[in-house]
Amino acid sequence: MPRKGMRTIFFSFSSKDLSSSSSSTHPPSPLRTFSESETTMAANIEVAESIITKWDPNSSSYAKVTSLFFESRNEAREFIKCVMDLQKSMHYFLSLGSSSDMLIRAQRLMQIAMKRLEKEFYQILSANRDHLDPESISGRSSLVSASARSSTSDYDDTYEDDVHVVARSISEVEQASTLAMSDLKSIADCMISSGYGKECVKIYMIIRKSIVDEGLYRLGIEQLTSSRIQKMDWDVLDVKIKTWLNAAKVAVKTLFKGERVLCDYVFSTSAFIRESCFSEISKEGAINLFKFPESVAKSKKYSSEKMFRILDLYDTICDLWPEIKSTFSFESTAAVRIQALNSLVKLGDAIKRMLLDFESAIQKDWSKSPVPGGGIHPLSRYVMNFLCFLADYSGILSDIIADSALPKHSPLPESYFLSHRNSEVDPSPAVSVRLAWLILVLLCKLDGKAELYKDAPLSYIFLANNLQYVISKVRTSNLRYLLGEEWASKHEAKVKQYVANYERMGWSKVISTLSENPTAVMSKEEAKKWFKKFNTAFDEAYKKQSSWVVTDGRLRDEIKVSITKKIAPAYRAFYDRYRNPLRDENTAESVVRFAPDDLGNYLSDLFYGNGLSGSTSSYSSSTANSRVLPAHSQSQ
């Protein structure tokens, strides 16, 4: 074996130092002191030779197939101690002259020892792949902290004592991984201090990188180019995004964190080595992991409904950022942090773009057919389901749109849709403003669709239904925290205005037939004429409105009660005054068709949309292909 160890062991001495060492005259020392030191150092070499040659793989079949650290931990400890003593002897004999026979002998033993430790290091790493899995290691920060306070130079009985103290408090599996970590650390410390750190690091990098790469593969992380992602069908990409969301959390919190903990522990004596090792092992896989969200965000073909997956990606990276920052804190792994931040920026830009596309989709809604019965428009359901789901991401949106401005030419002042908000719950006024603005865009669009109704009272039923639906969705979702009670109250007052307009226009003919003084004296003929006029007006209003619908139960009851109060008392008074005088008439039943209680029964049947089955659903199905929300957001 070449004497490469000489090159590294003497790294602290320059050629000038060596020449001056051999040529300079040393102060005279007592012969007794010199002889004792030389005898001690020679004895160290003798002791080291006995144990090192015993475990020389080339000396016996036993040494070739047997693991020192597995066979006897005490002897392994002695082996490490002998190597450290051997190193001290080499430094001593170096000071006497580079041609010392004892120095050459010590160097030969050091090469054999390093070859043995290389073999042990490899065997421990290979045999403990399961025990040194990142999940077991990721919680070992305390062990790493303790290692920073120890070094191989004081490798004595306290080493074994510390291991046993730790081992008694953890499970059998954790004991195995703890012992393996301690063995690796002791070997690494010894090889690095002896100038063989390069060989140690090479073995470590090869084995541990394969473990990290295998872990990422098992988590479903693939090497996907941006162009390949752009060409994927959404269903395929959606599956890969879901896989990534789960995999990223495990990869950052367990896989990479565990690898960082192990690396910091094993190479605690060298900041440079532990940084270069961790970077070499994890950097490539981590960059590939965080490049995926950026590639997804670059596509501009996604419809607004895909925003929620993009928000999930953004949320996951934000959630993992503290671990990303601490795990990849080295300068050499800065590229990982930069890639994660780049993905956040691209995802944020994509979300902003999708919000604008969503607003544009509302304004460009192409439907020209009025919803039968004045019911809930599919656009209202689509937009409010979308916004309710979006409100669950208010914390993330506050980061993304905090500095985004509303359209410059807003038709209404900001105060229209800004109201008191609960500052403890609402993290960002910008989110509240943006969501209120989108609702305003919807309401303006509904105003235009109300004009499609030829019957003015029905148009107000339509507006009342849809605004009530919007308010209901706000009150039953996180939108209530973002928009506030004042916003809801103002719009509830608007619903009442719509209802009042409907009642005034829809029942004006009926109400106009009612006499201001129903008990006033009137002839039979006049009474007959009045009843006929009322019957005609009520029939016309009832038949026209029997197909109309009020979807909100409470609003429906309130409208019925309001109409009844306007009609029933006056009609009852007139009915009581003239029913008996007309009873003897042959045409009494055809003239007095409604008893007062009958009016209430007729009115109670209104606003259920009888005979409308399938009319609204046909509209909904025609727009389903262009608007599809996630399954869990398709609430009614």
Name the token pair of 314.
Answer: 């953004």
- Sorted by where each starts, the structural domains of the chain and their CATH numbers stand as 4-193 (no CATH), 212-343 (no CATH), 365-505+618-633 (no CATH), 509-605 (1.20.1280.170)
Of 145-159, 277-291, 441-455, 488-502, minimum mean pLDDT range: 145-159
- Is residue 549 helix, strand or coil? strand
Mean pLDDT, rounded, of the chain? 79
Confidence of residue 411 (pLDDT cuts 50, 70, 90): low
Which residues share a beta bridge with 549?
Answer: 608
Could you tell me the CA-to-CA distances from 252 to 128, 260, 324 in Å, in that order? 22, 10, 7
**pLDDT, position 263:** 93
Q: What is the mean pLDDT of residues 551-579?
A: 88
Name the token pair of 534.
Answer: 């009322």
- Smallest CA-to-CA distance from 378 within 9, 636, 2, 633 is with 636
When computed from its CA atoms, the radius of gyration of the chain, rounded to whole angstroms, is 43
Of 95-99, 246-250, 579-583, minimum mean pLDDT range: 95-99
Residue 610: partners with Cβ closer than 8 Å, 6 or more residues away: 546, 547
pLDDT of 408 above 60: no
- Is residue 161 helix, strand or coil? helix
**pLDDT, position 512:** 87
What is the rounded CA–CA span in Å between residue 446 and residue 463? 7
**pLDDT, position 275:** 95
**pLDDT, position 578:** 76
What is the rounded CA–CA span in Å between residue 228 and residue 217? 18
- Is residue 391 helix, strand or coil? helix
pLDDT of 147 above 60: no
Kindly report, residue by residue over 468-526, the tens digit of the pLDDT: 999 999 999 999 999 999 999 999 999 999 999 999 999 999 888 886 666 667 777 88
What is the rounded CA–CA span in Å between residue 184 and residue 117? 10
Q: What is the DSSP string of 201-259?
A: HHHHHHHHHHHHHHHHHHTT-----HHHHHHS-HHHHHHHHHHHHHHHHHIIIIIIHHH
**pLDDT, position 516:** 66
pLDDT of 443 above 70: yes
Of 70-84, 150-164, 402-416, 566-580, minimum mean pLDDT range: 150-164
Confidence of residue 612 (pLDDT cuts 50, 70, 90): very low
- Smallest CA-to-CA distance from 447 within 412, 489, 474 is with 412
Residue 324: partners with Cβ closer than 8 Å, 6 or more residues away: 252, 317, 336, 337, 340
pLDDT of 164 above 50: no
What is the rounded CA–CA span in Å between residue 264 and residue 283? 15
What is the rounded CA–CA span in Å between residue 5 and residue 323? 40
pLDDT of 617 above 90: no
Q: What is the dihedral of CA 448, 451, 452, 458, to 10 degrees?
A: 120
DSSP 8-state class, residue 371: P
What is the rounded CA–CA span in Å between residue 159 and residue 140? 17
3-state helix, strand, coil in the chain (%, to 5): 75, 0, 25
**pLDDT, position 430:** 85
Other beta carbons within 10 angstroms of residue 580's beta carbon come to: 10
pLDDT of 9 above 60: no
Q: What is the mean pLDDT of residues 282-302?
A: 92
Which residues share a beta bridge with 608?
Answer: 549
The more confident residue out of 61 and 343 is 343
Other beta carbons within 10 angstroms of residue 419's beta carbon come to: 16
- Smallest CA-to-CA distance from 354 within 286, 400, 412 is with 400
**pLDDT, position 576:** 83
Q: How far is CA 369 from the centre of its chain?
A: 40
What is the rounded CA–CA span in Å between residue 551 and residue 371? 13
pLDDT of 245 above 70: yes
Name the token pair of 435.
Answer: 């969501």
Kindly report, residue by residue over 39-71, the tens digit of the pLDDT: 777 777 777 787 888 888 777 777 777 778 887
What is the rounded CA–CA span in Å between residue 296 and residue 69? 49
Write down the H helix ranges in 97-233. Answer: 101-127, 134-137, 141-147, 157-168, 172-193, 197-218, 226-231
Q: What is the mean pLDDT of residues 288-298?
A: 95
